[in-house]
Amino acid sequence: MPSTLKRTTWAVLALACVSQFMVILDASIVNVALPSIQRELGFTVTGLAWVVNGYLLTFAGFMLLGGRAADLFGQRRMLVTGLILFSAASLAAGLASAPGVLVAARVVQGVGAAMLAPATLAVINTNFTAERERARAFGAWSAAGGVGGMAGAVAGGAITTGLSWRWVFLINVPIGAVLIGAAMKSLAAARTRRREPLDLIGAATGTAGLAALIYGVMQSADHDWTSLRVALPGAAGLLLLVVFTVVEARVARPIMPLRLLTLRTVAVGNGMLLLFGAIAIAMWYFTSLFLQNVLGYSALRSGLGQTPAAVTFVVVARLAATLLPRTGVRRLIVAGSACFLIGFGWLAQAGAGSGYVTSVLGPTLLVAIGIGLTFPTLMAAVTADVPEGDAGVAGGLANTASQVGGAIGLAVLTTVAGTRAATAAGYDLVFVVAAGLAVALALVGSLLPGFSRPSGSGERVRRPGG
């Protein structure tokens, strides 16, 4: 980041990055602790899944609402509210003495995260207006989320082994307290220019529709896609989203202004984030399963085995932020998709007798390069042309697209792996499908307009063809 940036700007970026790190970390850190949680609290196998799903469901379902709330009520207010809710729920989860209490705490945690994630994007979007600075800020933000996702397995294993599974949640309390103080100090209070009522009907139908759709998709892990347990909530979710769209087209002050979707960067970029979510799941989730179920690694060793890819992602995400104003969106998307295609194609050749270095390390580094090139580029692109007053909802929409893509991708790819009983051949087929998604990502990326290059006067100049 250029030295000309003020100290307060650095503080704002650090606040956004650490908040995003904590949100994403909590989606993955609990996985390694699940066996200990089950033994101590007496969870059933089905109930235990909701320690993870309860968080992910409300996280994805409430993000659009959280993003709009940040626009209407102020970024600092929503960031602090989200941190308080997230930290309080973490405390309740860490002290839980019964399965229902822990699941309820995780659900509330997800709501807090849904306030936090779009607010961090809105903070970046409004505090970093110069193209180059914004690109670098998004690179740092993306890297923080990536590190949070990857650190979960290692940190969860270390904390559970060295302390207790309860500290997987309790560690958030002091971190949250520090972030609340930082937010109050570094972020300006909102100077609300608009006194708009919250679109309650839109909020209810949009949130319920997303939650029902994601719930139905999650149910497909244990039930056939044609079963009522999957089809009913999925159909209800789609119907509610149709109602949501009709409502948003008619109300004067919608929670999700449909005019944003007339911006090509927003419409196409969010479509790409749906694909990207599925690709990222194929990388981090299924590679971890391959290491454990096929190569026989422990959960902790599996996390350590993916650490080189995580480090690579962080480095490349920062590099992509530097390259973006020079190369444009399309070139980075094509380069990232090529890395996905080659990396997943290489992974698909791995088997039970494969070595880590030759069959896993090399291809995962390539895929990590692709993620590092693609994710911050897409997040910068989908917010580049959005008015400041819509920064929160644009961030919520982008996060929602990525999370929903990941949820659907997880369900579909789990089904794909299950067709071959989760053997090496099953994972190979998953990686082949992921390579196909990379091709689709590149094709959709060709619809994006060229990214803007800052001119000497600081105005944005569209670069045709990117």
Backbone angles phi, psi at 24, to 5 degrees: -75, -35
Q: Which residues of 216-225 are buried (b: 16+ CB within 10 A; e: fewer)?
A: bbbbbeeeee
Out of 3.40.50.300, 2.30.180.10, 1.20.1250.20, 2.60.40.10, which CATH number does the structure's domain 258-466 have?
1.20.1250.20
Per-residue confidence of the chain (466 residues) as pLDDT tens digits?
A: 444 445 557 777 888 888 888 877 777 777 667 777 888 888 776 677 678 778 877 887 787 777 777 777 777 788 888 899 999 999 999 999 898 899 899 989 988 988 888 788 777 777 776 667 777 777 777 777 767 766 776 777 677 777 888 988 898 899 889 888 888 877 765 444 455 667 778 778 887 888 888 788 777 767 777 888 888 988 998 999 899 888 888 887 777 778 888 888 888 888 898 898 888 877 777 887 788 778 888 766 777 787 888 888 888 887 887 788 788 788 888 899 999 999 999 988 887 777 888 888 999 999 999 998 988 888 878 877 777 667 667 777 887 788 788 878 877 787 777 655 555 667 788 889 899 999 998 888 887 765 444 333 333 434 434 4
pLDDT at site 42: 84
pLDDT at site 87: 92
Instruction: Read off the tokens for 355.
Output: 């070595």
Domain positions in the chain are 1-186, 258-466
pLDDT at site 341: 93
Q: Is 283 buried (19+), middle (13-18) or exposed (0-12) by CB count in 10 A? A: buried
pLDDT at site 462: 43
| Nearest-10 Cα torsion for 403, 231, 425, 352 | 60
pLDDT at site 92: 94
SS3 percent helix, strand, coil of the chain, rounded to 5, is 80, 0, 20
Report how far residue 193's alpha carbon sits from residue 196's, in angstroms, rounded to the nearest whole number. Answer: 9
In sequence order, what are the beta bridge partners of 32?
none
The CATH architecture to which 1-186 belongs is: Up-down Bundle (1.20)
pLDDT at site 342: 94
